[in-house]
Structures are given as C-alpha cells and as structure tokens.
C-alpha cells in the first residue's frame, strides 16, 4: 500500500528531509543541516515549525453533537465552552473484549453544542470515526476530513512572536482556539495547543492552502531563527515531557488508569465508553502503572526493554525511551508492576542488550514544562 503524503511533501523534499512511515503517511523525520538534536534545541530555545498533517481531522455536526461526543469519549465536555479544546480518550466499550483499553487519544475542539472538531492520531482515525458514526443518533453526522485539512505546529518560547509577525492571533489562553483569515485570505484555525511542553500553537488550514501558510510562517520566523522540525524531534520533546504516544503508553491493552491518564476521565459522568471497566479497575488498583526512568549511565533505554528490580527480577517494560538532548542522558517511560511497590527516587535497572543499566525512577516531566 502506497503511503499518503502531506500537502507539504514537496517543501520537505526541497529542504532535504528524511522520511518515515507514520500511521500510513510518509512524513519528515528530520531535515538536512542539523538533524534531530538541532531541531530539538530550536524548539526548546527558540521556535520550530512542524508538519503534523498526518493527524486526523473530523467534524461531528448536528443537533446535540457535543452531547453525543461527550457520551462516548472519556473526558467531560461540560468543563469547557465554545472556543476551547480538551484532551480526551476513546476507549473500548463495556461488553467488548478489553473494555477500558484505549482505541485512541485525541483533542476535541468545541465550536458549539452542535459542532465539534476532532483531531485523532493518524493510525487510529478511521476506527475512531467508524465507531462514532455507528453510534451517532439521527441528525448527527461524522465527516472524515483527514486529507482535506493540513496541520502545522509552531512550537517554542518565541512562537508567539512568529505568529504576530505572520499576522495570526497569539494571545490565546492554553487549550483555546480561534478562526481567522490570514493575509492571503486563507481560513486558518489557530489553536493554543501542542505536544512539546513549550508555548506553542497548531494551525489548521485547507490542504490546498497549506504551502502558502508554511512559507509565510517560515518568512515570519526568520528573525527568531525558526527551523523546520521533523517528527524525530517531536518524539524526543514529548518523551522529555512524559506525554503519552498511542501504541506505546496507551493502547487497547493499556488503560487510562495504568497510564496515569485518569485526569482525562470524567468519572462523575453517567456514560462514556468503558466506564464500568475503568471504574472497577480504579477501585481495585491497576496491576501496573506508568513511571519515568532517567539513566544513571550511558545506556539508552528503548521500547520493549525489561525493567529489573533490585533482585534482578523483571518488574516491567519500557514503553518509550530515547536520548534526552536537554539532559544529555537517556530517559524513558515504563509500565511497572504495582506489586513491585517502586517509589520516586528508587534505583532500578533496564536490561540494555543483556547488560543491566541503572536508572532512577521519576515522575515526569523530566524537564520543566513551559505551557501555561
């Protein structure tokens, strides 16, 4: 099957990007002239521009659309109003094998009681939308706009200055959004969201107008030394923050309780998919919990590596692991058995190619978040 390409693919090729498959999309991992380390540093110190058009986009519209979405997904939409966004989870329903497991994590943008925008992950977008479509009441329509909408992310401490120079609104509260027309007349939704732990924005625009917006942001960011960034840096940035990635820290086998994502569950809501299973697991305490690990030596923890207790017995598994460009050491996220009774500050080990490497148990983030 041929991978899909972003509407910005030609720009990435011209910039010397290296590509990899992300959920069926061929997307830039890094660019010539610096690579992941330079791109990571640009976001932490100044500003970076990402193409994340592989993320899904969909609308749910019709009478009571927001109430319908609220009855399916975990978080409580009554906590936000129109013009605000919310992180939430689509879980397997009660009565289905693996009830409470996570089909996907996504962002909901509430436009009004009858109009909701969803941004799921690329690999899971089709299933999330199929489940919502099958459950939708009469009059509510779920529309896949995955290939119609491009998503750009402007991230870093100088991102607000770049948006101002581009004529886009930057004075937005965290997890809010606004729709405007840019200088070229394109309709752009500016969202005060991101996946890096830095002050930042995500820009949604029609696919056919994405190239002009990409170019305009790069020109506007020249004074701030903006750098195009690939999804390799996006992964090191999110791992430093302890942000989950579906398929690693969240999955059909990993529940919100195990991933410490209970804050994204509206426990008092009368209904959402997987509610009974998650409540039962919460009461009984999950059998494993997500922790951070920081390497004490040179070994770099990688996904799938075993975590070993003081006696050398296996107590869990690394779900994400990388070299932290900020800390200059290895960091990881791992699911550890609750029975092991680990605590923050404990020293355990990761089996790195047959050699136990010491790590300290931590609660992420590994670096201070600048999101406010």
Question: Do 155 and 122 share a structural domain?
Answer: no
Question: Do 301 and 317 share a structural domain?
Answer: yes
Question: Do 24 and 37 share a structural domain?
Answer: yes
Judged by DSSP in three states, 210 sits in: helix
CA distances from 78 to 29, 89, 110 (A): 37, 15, 10
**Residues 293 and 334 sit within 8 Å (Cβ to Cβ):** yes
Question: Do 262 and 193 share a structural domain?
Answer: no
303 assigned to some structural domain: yes
Last residue of a domain, one of 94, 128, 143: 143
210 assigned to some structural domain: yes
Question: Do 41 and 179 share a structural domain?
Answer: yes
Domain range for 99 is 58-143
28 assigned to some structural domain: yes
Question: Do 211 and 64 share a structural domain?
Answer: no
Task: Identify the bridge partners of residue 27 per DSSP, sorted by sequence position.
Answer: 20
User: Taking residues 314-326, what's their average pLDDT?
Assistant: 98
Last residue of a domain, one of 215, 240, 265: 240
Question: Do 67 and 113 share a structural domain?
Answer: yes
CATH number reported for the structural domain that contains residue 129 in this entry? 3.30.70.1400
370 assigned to some structural domain: no
84 assigned to some structural domain: yes
> Would you place residue 49 in the very low, low, confident or very high pLDDT band (cuts 50, 70, 90)?
very high
Question: Do 152 and 29 share a structural domain?
Answer: yes
Question: Which residue reads 């941004």 in tokens?
Answer: 119
Q: State pLDDT tens for residues 243-274.
A: 999 999 999 999 999 999 999 999 999 999 99
Question: Do 265 and 120 share a structural domain?
Answer: no
Last residue of a domain, one of 122, 143, 164: 143
pLDDT at 183 over 90: no
Question: Do 320 and 225 share a structural domain?
Answer: no
**So what's the pLDDT on residue 184?**
67
Number of domains composing the chain: 3
Listed in sequence order, the residues at least 6 apart from 212 whose beta carbon sits closer than 8 Å to its beta carbon are 184, 186
368 assigned to some structural domain: no
Question: Do 333 and 299 share a structural domain?
Answer: yes
Distance CA 241, CA 230 (A): 17
- One DSSP character per residue, 316-336 reads EEEEEEEEETTTTEEEEEEEE
Q: State pLDDT tens for residues 70-109.
A: 999 999 999 999 999 999 999 999 999 999 999 999 999 9
Question: Do 256 and 205 share a structural domain?
Answer: no
Q: Which of 52, 43, 53, 51 is nearest to 162 (CA)?
A: 43
Q: State pLDDT tens for residues 211-248.
A: 999 999 999 999 999 999 999 999 999 999 999 999 99
């Amino acid at each position: 099957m041929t991978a899909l390409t972003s509407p910005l693919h030609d720009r990435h090729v011209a910039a010397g990007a290296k590509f990899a498959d992300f959920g069926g999309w061929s997307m830039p991992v890094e660019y010539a002239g610096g690579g992941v380390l330079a791109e990571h540093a640009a976001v932490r110190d100044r500003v970076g521009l990402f193409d994340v058009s592989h993320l899904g986009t969909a609308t749910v519209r019709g009478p009571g659309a927001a109430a319908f979405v609220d009855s399916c997904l975990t978080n409580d939409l009554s906590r936000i109003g129109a013009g605000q966004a919310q992180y939430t989870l689509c879980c397997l329903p009660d009565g289905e094998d693996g009830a409470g497991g996570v089909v996907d994590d996504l962002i909901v943008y509430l436009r009004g009681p009858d109009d909701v925008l969803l941004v799921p992950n690329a690999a899971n977008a089709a299933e999330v939308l199929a489940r919502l479509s099958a459950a939708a009441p009469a009059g509510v329509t779920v529309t896949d706009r995955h290939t119609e909408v491009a998503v750009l992310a402007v991230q870093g401490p100088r991102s607000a200055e770049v948006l101002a120079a581009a004529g886009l609104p930057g004075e937005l509260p965290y997890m809010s959004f606004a729709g405007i027309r840019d200088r070229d007349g394109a309709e752009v939704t500016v969202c005060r969201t991101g996946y890096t732990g830095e002050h930042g924005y995500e820009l949604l625009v029609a696919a056919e107008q994405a190239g002009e917006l990409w170019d305009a942001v790069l020109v506007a960011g020249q004074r701030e030394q903006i750098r195009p960034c690939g999804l390799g840096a996006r992964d090191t940035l999110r791992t430093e923050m302890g942000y989950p990635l579906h398929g690693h820290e969240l999955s059909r086998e990993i529940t919100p309780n195990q991933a410490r994502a209970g804050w994204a569950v509206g426990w008092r809501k009368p209904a959402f998919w997987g509610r009974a299973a998650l409540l039962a697991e919460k009461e009984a305490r999950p059998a494993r919990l997500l922790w951070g690990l920081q390497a004490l030596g040179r070994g770099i923890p990688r996904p799938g590596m075993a975590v070993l207790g003081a006696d050398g017995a296996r107590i869990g598994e690394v779900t994400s692991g990388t070299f932290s460009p900020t800390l200059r050491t290895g960091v990881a996220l791992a699911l550890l058995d609750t029975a092991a009774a680990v605590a923050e500050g404990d020293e355990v080990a990761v089996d790195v190619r047959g050699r136990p490497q010491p790590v300290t148990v931590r609660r992420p983030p590994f670096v201070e978040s600048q999101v406010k």
